[in-house]
Structure 1
Amino acid sequence: MTAALLLVALLATSWFARKRLRLDFGSGRSRAYLTVAVRQVVGFALPALVMLALAGEWRALSEMPASFAALAVSFGIEGWVTPGDGWILSIGALAGTVIGSGLAWLRWRRKRKRGPIFGELGWLLPRDRADLAWGVVLSLTAGVTEELFFRLALPLLATLATGSALAGLLLAAILFAGAHWYQGWSGVVATGVMGLVFALLYLASGTLWFAIAAHIVVDLNALVIRPALTGAWRRA
């Protein structure tokens, strides 16, 4: 059963990465953004929940699996991030992102050069205020759905199948990076690194919500803060 569920998880990743999970709500940028958001839910969140249910691992939604907890202990990072520390880190990261992105982009704009960014977002990059609102929606959707899938369901199934939590988390990080191939190689590498960071945050805090919060902050930077600072906010 576990091997079959893991195969389903791998197929879900492949469908999303290759855009085979076809959903189309019509033309227009708003409808395109809606399509992406729904694909995130259908392609990642729903499979994750179904697989956790079929594997009898519902408790993993609220309690870190024993295999992951043991890995955190072996790494010596168990309890590094407490609930109070986690929220402080999340708020601090968001504030730092806003300030840092603003200073960096203002400097690059004065030099009439493009600011540093890892990966190409293509049409997803917001162009006006309406797009920025969708950027918020996509950031929240991706943070929740992708962490449920790539930091919980997929690595847990891989752990049950292989007996190694480390192998499960590494496999999930690699597939997480591969699912972002549309951003180019720089985006794939950066996403892979961030996937490992999110996994470490999960292990260090013992709760998936801090990994979700970190993921949302990263996406808000790319899909809302930077575009707003470079002109999208001025266009209605």
Structure 2
Amino acid sequence: MTVPSFTVPSLFLAVPLTAYLTFVSPWLGRRQYDRLARRRADDPRALVRAYRIWIGEEWAWIAVTALILALSPDAGLRDLGFIRPDDFGKVAVMTAGLGGALLAGSLALRHASRSGRAVPGQEAVAALLPRTPAERWHAVAMAVTAGVCEEVVYRGLLIALGVGVLGLNPSVAAVLALAVFVAGHLYQGWRGMAGVALLGLWFTAMYLATDSLLLPIVAHVLIDVRGLVFVPAPPPEKVGHAA
């Protein structure tokens, strides 16, 4: 991993964005999810509106990230993981692992759903699960947005800032970025955050092994699509916030 160089003007954007992701976004996300859970049963457009707000917010992060790079001539897309992986052996192993994990997880989720048992982890995101075609399309858009934007910002940008600005070892910077990523899912409660931490660790390992965001983005999108779209939503009376 190269050591990117960020200019002082770019830091006037990077520092507030990092502070927002670390402190404001977790608190705001929790409030937004709680409000959605309260209104979901009585407002048929509540989920669609929430998805649109979150999609807009995450693409705003990308816009700020683009400005940070534009203000830093010595830092480029490559420093944020926008490269093709060179070690195709690692890519093949990770791709096979991703496919196996998705298949096994999907079979387990389908079996749990058909047998009437609670789907693992569903309670933490119950208010986000779509029931109508419009909600499903917005859920797909949300999954793609999260997979792209969160990997670029949490994995690409934050690790690059840790290495280039703070002088941290890439592994240490990755751990700190992972902590911010997990905090951003505060709305899921501690059990949900534990699952997010495991997934985030997997995405981080992919990134550090290949220096590319390609596999983490693909894995993130596929996992979110499976979790939001292909898992049956619980009955409305069971939708609520997971403590």
TM-score (norm 1): 0.74
- Please give the alpha-carbon distance, in whole angstroms, between the structure 2 residues aligned to 1:145 and 1:64: 12
Deviates more, 1:175-184 or 1:164-173: 164-173
Listed as ranges, the matches of 1:75-90 within 5 Å are: 81-82=87-88, 86=91, 89-90=94-95
Conserved 8 A contact 2:27-2:186: no
1:50 match: 67
The one-letter amino acid of 2:165's match is A
2:19 pairs with one of 11, 14, 19: 11
**CA deviation vs aligned residue, 1:79-100 (integer Å, no higher than 9, x gap):** 6x52x86478558735752x43
> 1:37, CA displacement in angstroms?
0.8
> 1:117, CA displacement in angstroms?
1.9
- Please give the alpha-carbon distance, in whole angstroms, between the structure 2 residues aligned to 1:191 and 1:39: 20
2:218 match: 213
1:62 pairs with one of 67, 75, 78: 78
Structure 1: gaps spanning 5 or more residues:
66-77, 232-236
Listed as ranges, the matches of 1:195-210 within 5 Å are: 195-210=200-215
Identical pairs, percent: 26
**CA deviation vs aligned residue, 1:152-197 (integer Å, no higher than 9, x gap):** 1111112222211222111110000000000111121221222222
- Please give the alpha-carbon distance, in whole angstroms, between the structure 2 residues aligned to 1:142 and 1:11: 19
The one-letter amino acid of 1:16's match is S
3-state SS of 2:28 partner:
coil
1:160 match: 164
TM-score (norm 2): 0.72
Work out the number of aligned pairs and report it.
209
> 1:132, CA displacement in angstroms?
1.7
> 1:63, CA displacement in angstroms?
5.4
**CA deviation vs aligned residue, 1:108-146 (integer Å, no higher than 9, x gap):** 234422121276114211123322211111111011111
> 1:58, CA displacement in angstroms?
4.3
Query: Kindly tell me: are residues 177 and 119 of structure 1, through their superposed partners in 2, closer, same or farther at Cα, counting changes over 3 Å?
Result: farther
The one-letter amino acid of 1:18's match is W
The one-letter amino acid of 2:68's match is M
The one-letter amino acid of 2:194's match is V
Conserved 8 A contact 1:119-1:188: no
